[in-house]
A = this chain, B = another copy of it.
Amino acid sequence: MLSYTCKTAVKAVIYLASKYESGNNAGIKEISEYINASEHTVGKILQTLVKHNVINSVKGPSGGFFISKEQRKQTIINIVESIDGKQVFKECGLGLSKCSSTHPCPIHNDYKKARDIIEKLFGSKTIIDLCKPVNNGLTYLMG
């Protein structure tokens, strides 16, 4: 469903948000170590997210990435759309470019149901929602 890069993006943002309370910025190194991903990859991803106003960054000493209170209220669909694009939840289950309710592929109706659930999931869960279980130690971002 999501690209590997996009999954990494979500994990990185959740880490960043779960660190929010501290008031400190997080550097690329710190983030990539925590979510067990390549430093360069994380750097690239976070740059893209800054461009899309999902997170913020500051250069220089004591710089790094951070997420504002307002930004934490975003749903994670913003992350997904920034990395994989807005069409992710519109794609046909069989890869047909012109699959729709009026011109459906053989699995259109059933596939759409599941796809809509995933879209709704990403469109309703906020970043805050997802970092709660991480802060509580109930879920993990690595492994």
Question: A residues bordering B, Cβ < 8 Å?
Answer: 1-2, 4, 7-8, 10-11, 14, 76, 93-98, 103-108, 110-111, 113-115, 117-118, 121, 125, 129-131, 133-134, 138-143
Contacts and interface: CB of A to CB of B under 8 A. Distances in A.
Given A107-B125, A114-B118, A121-B107, A93 B1 contact: yes
Contacts of A110: 117, 121, 125
B138 A94 contact: no
Contacts of A108: 139
B96 A143 contact: yes
A111 B114 CA distance: 10
Instruction: Report which residue of A98, A108, A121 has the largest number of chain B beta carbons within 10 angstroms of its beta carbon.
Output: A121
Give me the 4 closest cross-chain CB pairs, A-B, nearest first. Answer: A7-B95, A106-B130, A114-B117, A98-B143
Nearest to A18: B106
A138 B104 contact: yes
Contacts of A97: 143
B107 A140 contact: no
B114 A133 contact: no
A14 to B, nearest CB: 6
